[in-house]
Amino acid sequence: MNAIISASELADALRSERPPVLLDVRWQLSTAAASGQPFDGRAAYASGHLPGAVFVDLDRELASAPGPRGRHPLPDLDVFGAAMRRAGVSAGTPVVAYDGGIGWAAARAWWLLRWTGHPDVRVLDGGLPAWDGPLETEASTPAEGDFVPKPAEGAVLDADGAAALARSGVLLDARAGERYRGEVEPIDPVGGHIPGALSAPTSDNVDADGRFRPAAELRARFGELGATRDVPVGVYCGSGVSAAHEVLALEVAGIPAALYVGSWSEWTSDPARPVAVGPDPQ
């Protein structure tokens, strides 16, 4: 099953006998919008969302509180499961997640659901801007779902696992190249990358319209970095959100990958961990 869905395909699915549950996961990395006011995903949802969609709060329901494990560590599974059931998610119902267009937050929801055992989850390619159908402003209250998260083994990396994978397989850094090289670091205390990691910015996964590049192009892109189905692959970013988008892109390309959820924000919380700078992975 394809991990992404186009707006036209979603419109058809919503008219089918088995319409998907819709998760609105609008979120921004920066808390400040252009107006100078903090971004409010709930307000964005209330101003217009796909019919039947339920708002999901990335910071509170798709992650736990920031701390030594990073800015967006794994959520408490009871909290995550309750949020999914509130949204109407059941084990036997398809799910489509979307966000404001960049795809990071929707991919985080996709990854968490897949990691915890849901078999049928996709991301709306291009997000809300790709949708040309009707919107609604009333909050949706679907019937309670029955989904119970059951994490899979091997899909999550910790700091030691990421360091080991950088030596034995392929570890991709999904942040912007200048952050990888350590030329600038706007959020975390130290710039640079995990020694051995390869720069693979998430922005290169999509075209100018924010839609994923074709699977063959993504497969070629990752193949040039040594990431194929034949080697273990892992991804990290700043806090495990944009890296989920990279894991999604790898899935589109047919390449399974693990996610280092703590990512650079966890890695740099321990000053004893090594940091590489410049374009050289080491």
Question: In one letter, which amino acid is 261?
Answer: V
**Rounded CA Rg of the chain:** 18
**Active-site residue flag, 237:** yes
The helix, strand and coil proportions of the chain, stated in percent and rounded to the nearest 5, come to 30, 15, 55
DSSP 190: S
Whether 202 and 174 have beta carbons less than 8 Å apart is answered as: yes
Residue count of the chain: 282
What is the C-alpha to C-alpha distance for residues 181 and 2, in angstroms, rounded to an integer?
33
User: For residues 172 and 198, is the Cβ–Cβ distance under 8 A?
Assistant: yes
> Are 69 and 266 contacting, i.e. CB atoms less than 8 angstroms apart?
yes
Task: For residue 84, give the 3-state DSSP assignment.
Answer: helix
**If we measure between CA atoms, which residue out of 206, 88, 67 comes closest to residue 145?**
88
Helix (H) or strand (E) holding 217: helix 215-224
Residue whose tokens read 């949706």? 140
Question: Backbone phi, then psi, for 56, in 5-degree steps?
Answer: -120, 130
Q: Which residues of 14-45 are buried (b: 16+ CB within 10 A; e: fewer)?
A: eeeeebbbbbbbbbbbeeeeeeeeebebeebb
Order of strands across the sheet that contains 54-55: 4-5, 121-124, 95-98, 21-24, 54-55
Q: Which of 23, 121, 124, 237 is catalytic?
A: 237
List the catalytic residues.
237
